[in-house]
Amino acid sequence: MAAAEHNPLLDGLRLRRRPDGCILVIFGASGDLTSKKLIPALYSLAVRQLLPEHFGIVGAARTEESDDQFRERMKQAVQEHARDEFEQEVWDELAAGMHYITLDFADDKRENKLRDVLTKLDEERGTGGNRVYYFAVPPSAIGTIVDEIAARRVAEGWIRLIIEKPFGHDLQSARDLNTRLKEHFAENEVFRIDHYLGKETVQNMLALRFANGIFEPIWNRQFIDHVQITVAESIGIEGRAGYYEQAGAIRDIFQNHLLQLVAITAMEPPIDFTADSVRNEKVKVLKALQTPGPKHVIRGQYGAGFVEGEEVRGYREEEGVAPASMTETFVAAKLYVDNWRWADTPFYVRMGKRLARRETTIAIQFKRAPHPPFEDAAAEGLRPNVLLIHVQPNEGVSLAIGAKVPGQGMTIRTVHMDFLYGGAFREGLPEAYERLILDAMLGDATLFTRSDEIEEQWALVDAIVAFWQRDRPSFPNYASGTWGPATSDELLHRDGRSWRRH
C-alpha cells in the first residue's frame, strides 16, 4: 500500500526531456550484458516513456540468429531481469523497431547489410541518421569497429559511441585506443561507461556534499580522520576465467570502479554540474594520488571456504584457471591525495571476490571529540562519528552519533540516523544502465569517464603492477567467506585503525 501513497518528496519534479530520435546499435549483442542489463534497461525506459519517440535497436554479433529469434530471446530476458512488470503492449512497441545482424567486419557483405538495415530503419522509424553505438565487445575488437563506423559515417545525424570497460589493458593500450578514437571522433562523441557512476547513491555523494551546508565545511583533513572504501563481492569469477586471468582484481575493479569512488569522494566543488566541470575536478584528484609503496598495497587470492553457508572452491580450482595461477582476486591499499584538502589523510580502499558478503560502502570517519566530559560514562567507549554511504545493495546514508541512553545517569551509546532511498521515495531505484544509456542519447557525458581520467587511472595501476612483478606471494592467502588476507587488517592496524565491519 505504501507504494501507492502520495509521496511529497516527488512533488514538483519534472521529467527529463526525451532524446532525439536515434538507432541504438549493440555490438556483441549475443552476450550476457545485452540480455541481462541493456535490453531490460531499455524496456524500463520505455515503460516510463523516456526513450525517443522515434527509436530503433539493432543487435550485431557473430552468432547466427534471425530477427524473430533475437526478439524472443530479448523478451525472455526482459521477463527475467527487468525491474518492471512485463507489459505486452510496451514490449510490442519496443520490439517493432528491433533487428539483428550476424556481423563479422572481415566480411564486407555483412557490413553492407548492417548499413542497409540502418538506412531502412531511418526511413521506417524517422531516426534521421542519429546513431548510438554500444561496444559490448573485447578491447581488441574496438579499433576495427571504430574504423568501420568512421568509414561509413553519413553526413546527416549525430554519432555517439558507448564503450564498455575494460578500456585497454594498461596505460599504453588505453592511450593507443584514445588516439585511434580521436582520429575519427570528438571527445564529446565518446562515452566510456563505468556503470558504478550510474548508481543513485554514487550520484548522491555530489548532492550530499554540495547541496548541504553542514557537510562541505568539515569535508577536509581538519575534521576527517580517514576514509574507507569497500567494494566487496561474495561471488567468484562466474565462469570468466579467460578474462579474469588476464585482468585480475586490479584491472577488473580497482582501476575503474574503485578509483572513481575515490575521485568523487575527494573532489573539489565544481563550478557547475556540466560534464567537463565535474570531470575536471575528478582528474585533479587522480593526478594528486600518490603512488603507494609496496608496503601499502596488499593483494590476495581466495581459497576454498564457505560463503553464506555454501561450500565453494578456491580460485585455482575454478574452471579455466591455471593450477598455479598468481592472479589476484583481492586488492587493498592505503592511498593519499596530495593536495591542501586531504594532506596526510589516508584513504583505505579494498575490493575482492568471495568475501563475506556483497556490499559497496564509503565510510567517512571523523576525528574524535577532543575532550568529552562524559567519556568515562560511555557504555562502550565513545566512538567517533562516521558518515556511511551505502552504494549497494541497500542504497542509503547512515550517520553514527553518540546519544544518551534513556534512564538515570549519563550513559552514552552510538546510534544511527538512517536514510534509505526505498523508504524515503517509496519508488524502485533505476538500474545504472537506464540512467547511463539515457544520458548518452541526450549527449550528457557527466557520468562517463574522459580520456585523461582513464589514463591517470591506468598510470597508477601500471605503477602498482610493476613492483608486484618483483615478488611472488603465497597464494591462496584468504579463505572464501572471509574479509581477505590477514595482511589487509595489518595495513590498518599499523596506523592504530581497523576495517569497519558493517
Task: State phi, psi for 374 to the nearest 5 degrees.
Answer: -110, 25
Contacts of 216 (CB under 8 A, 6+ apart): 209, 210, 269
Query: Where does residue 442 rank: exposed (0-12), middle (13-18), buried (19+ CB within 10 A)?
Result: middle
For residue 3, give Cα distances in angstroms to 47, 212, 386: 17, 28, 31
- Whether 390 is catalytic is no
Residue 385 has a CB neighbour count (10 Å cut-off) of 19
Which grid cell sits at 368? 574524535
Task: State phi, psi for 230 to the nearest 5 degrees.
Answer: -120, 130
Q: Please choose, from the candidates 105, 191, 186, 104, the residue with its C-alpha nearest in 3D space to the C-alpha of residue 148.
A: 105
**One-character DSSP codes across 5-60:** S--GGGTT--PPPPPPPEEEEEETTTSHHIIIIIHHHHHHHHHTT-S-SSEEEEEE
Amino acid in the structure at residue 215: F
Q: Do 409 and 379 meet the contact criterion of CB atoms below 8 Å apart? A: no
For residue 202, give Cα distances in angstroms to 227, 261, 381, 466: 15, 8, 32, 31
Query: Where does residue 214 rank: exposed (0-12), middle (13-18), buried (19+ CB within 10 A)?
Result: exposed
Tell me how far apart the alpha carbons of residues 458 and 289 are, in angstroms, rounded to a whole number: 12
Tell me how far apart the alpha carbons of residues 384 and 393 are, in angstroms, rounded to a whole number: 25
| Catalytic residue of the set 257, 296, 390, 416 | 257
Tell me how far apart the alpha carbons of residues 337 and 266 are, in angstroms, rounded to a whole number: 8
Q: Do 402 and 382 meet the contact criterion of CB atoms below 8 Å apart? A: yes
Q: What is the DSSP letter of 293?
A: P
Q: Do 411 and 379 meet the contact criterion of CB atoms below 8 Å apart? A: yes
Contacts of 419 (CB under 8 A, 6+ apart): 396, 397, 398
Q: Cα 413 vs. chain centroid, distance in angstroms? A: 35
By DSSP bridging, strand 412-420 and strand 478-479 are unpaired
Give the active site residues.
257
